[in-house]
Structures are given as structure tokens and as C-alpha cells.
Amino acid sequence: MGASWLSDNRWDIKARLEGDPEQRTFTLITDLPRTFGEVKTGIVLTRKNGLELTAEYSARFADRYLSQTGSLRLAMPF
């Protein structure tokens, strides 16, 4: 468990549409929450022959914001 604080919580991205003959640009603006809570959990299964399976889940959350990720990794010695 933890928390994050963003000193700059605004993303400004200049973009354009491919194929526009006039090459006009526009700006996409996204305001993110300034503070986030964070949780992460996982499990590692290991066999005597060195085979290892890892599963992880993490989430960042704030008011009206939720970002979730998961991963599964298999490692084997050779």
C-alpha cells in the first residue's frame, strides 16, 4: 500500500489527424487527480527445478479515477 502525489497533474498533448490536407493541430488536455492511493499484491510459485510463476495485481485510485494492471510471468532456467 502507498500513495503518490503529482506536482504537475495536467497533460497537454498536441495532436493532428493523419490525412488532413491542412495539417491542422489541436490540443488534448487531461487533468488527473493530484493524489493517488496505491495497492499491489502478488504471489510467486517456485518449483525445485527452478521453474517460477509470478502473478501480480496493482491499482491506483482517487476520486473518480481507477487504474488497474495485472501481470503473469513464467520463468524457467536453461
Whole-prediction pTM? 0.64
> What per-residue confidence (pLDDT) applies to 78?
85
- Joined together, the cell numbers standing for residue 5 give 502525489
> What per-residue confidence (pLDDT) applies to 73?
97
DSSP 8-52: --EEEEEEE-TT-TT--EEEEEEEPPSEEEEEEEEEEEE-TTS-E
- Triad 13, 18, 23: Cα angle to 5°: 75
- Joined together, the cell numbers standing for residue 49 give 527445478
Across the 78 residues of the chain, what is the mean pLDDT of every consecutive 10-residue run?
A: 90 92 92 93 94 97 94 94
**C-alpha gyration radius of the chain:** 20
Question: Where do the structural domains in the chain lie, given as residue ranges?
Answer: 2-75
> What per-residue confidence (pLDDT) applies to 29?
93
> What per-residue confidence (pLDDT) applies to 71?
98
